[in-house]
Structure 1
Amino acid sequence: MFKTLFGRNPASSSHSNNHSARLRALEGSASADKAAAMLIGPAALMQLSHDEARIVVSYMRPHRIDQGTIFIREGDVDKTDFMLLVLHGEVTVETIVVSRSEPITLTVLGPGRVIGEMGLLDGEPRAASCTATTDVHGAILTRGGLAQLLDDDPRTAAKLMMAISLRLAVRLRESTDKLKMYTQLTQAMQQEINQPTVQ
């Protein structure tokens, strides 16, 4: 059932770079419509239209991850060429940078969330580890799929990359705000430590 998540497997259309053939493969697929709706939801890339999201989905492939599987490892430089749209299930995102020994949970992501989009664009080492908290069903867009989309439909590919860039910009601003708050807190604590104690 999961292998035919998007109707007639769009991957079978990859021999033909025909853009409309990919879309025809999705016709009548409720799961492709659901994936497109999730892709443009508030938790993902809402700058895309529904039609554009369906085009992007036609370049994605279904992917299942068993519960307990670490499918992205922090620091990994080999498997950086994909992003995952979670359709069903939950993923725990962790890092060891903070404690250097035990992983710290950063967040838990569920349906409609996009994971790994930075690696899709820049191919740099993974910034955190992702573990399937439950069985996860998702849709993967590889860098090869993105390159094919760029060839076939540059306008939609540009909108996709702009949507990803905006999403990353929001996360960067949130991180900057947290860093400012941390700096202020550190300074306040240092001032308190430096105050002479009253005997």
Structure 2
Amino acid sequence: MPEPTLLSNEIRDMLMDCGLFDPLLPEDFHIAAGYFNISSIARDEVIFLEGDAGTFMCIIHSGQVAVQKTNHDGQRLSIATLRSGRAFGEMAVLDGERRSASCVAASDCVLLNLGKDSLEKMLNEAPRVAAKIIRAIAIALSKRLRMADGQLLSQQF
């Protein structure tokens, strides 16, 4: 295995901080770090638009991201604000569908990015770690779906 660089150590520490991947072992973080990138996004910068091809997912290390949906008048309305530790864009990376919403930086942000190609590469090169990453993402999606179901149910009564 190549010697970890300062950048890969920084990515490893960010992955360990985010909470999403708590089930991973320390050595798993070292391996996973090689497949992620860091990006700095300025406030109001569009990260991706609803309908775009889903080629990457992000985890917020710092800052806030607004999730927006386009209404029937063509206006983008914010439906949620995501904070540090939260993943977004993962549905499109996993299922290959187009983006279901737009994401815009609500403040200056530092993001960890995992490209669809990098995830495929990880599946081939480090399948055990990739499986843990995908499982953690699936659990996070499942929790969000259960919360949304609960909100829908409470609105009906």
Class of the TM-score when normalised by the shorter of the 2 chains: 0.7 to 0.9
Q: Which residue of 2 aligns with 1:137?
A: 110
SS in 2 for 1:34: helix
CA distance, structure 2, for counterparts of residue 144 and residue 183 of structure 1: 42
Unaligned 5+ segments in structure 2 are none
Inter-partner Cα distance in structure 2 for 1:167 and 1:66: 26
1:161 maps onto 2:134 in alignment: yes
Deviation at 1:117, TM superposition (A): 1.0
Question: Normalization by structure 1: what TM-score?
Answer: 0.70
SS in 2 for 1:25: coil
Structure with the larger strand share: 2
Q: Is the 8 A contact 2:36 2:113 kept in 1?
A: yes
Task: Answer yes or no: is 1:64 the counterpart of 2:40.
Answer: yes
- CA distance 1:29–1:74, shift in 2 (3 Å): closer
How far residue 177 of structure 1 moved from its aligned partner, in angstroms, is: 1.1
Match of 1:89 in 2: 63
Select the structure of larger CA radius of gyration.
Answer: 1
Under a length normalisation based on structure 2, what TM-score does the superposition of the two structures give?
A: 0.86
Does 1:119 pair with 2:95? no
**Larger relative contact order (Cα-Cα within 8 Å, sequence gap ≥ 6):** 2
Distance 1:154 1:33 in 2: 18
Distance 1:27 1:75, change over 3 A: closer
In the TM superposition, what is the alpha-carbon distance from 1:162 to its structure 2 partner?
Answer: 1.0
User: SS where residue 58 of structure 2 aligns?
Assistant: strand
Which residue identity lines up with residue 38 of structure 2 in the other structure?
Answer: P
**In structure 1, what is the equivalent of residue 24 of structure 2?**
48
Quickly say closer, same or farther: Cα 1:28–1:143, change in 2 above 3 A.
closer
Q: Is the 8 A contact 1:48 1:159 kept in 2?
A: yes
The aligned residue for residue 10 of structure 2 is 31
Give the total of aligned pairs.
157
Aligned-pair identity (%): 29
Structure 1 contact 59–141 (Cα < 8 Å) conserved: yes
Structure 1's consecutive aligned runs of 4 or more residues displaced over 3 angstroms after TM superposition are 26-30, 99-104
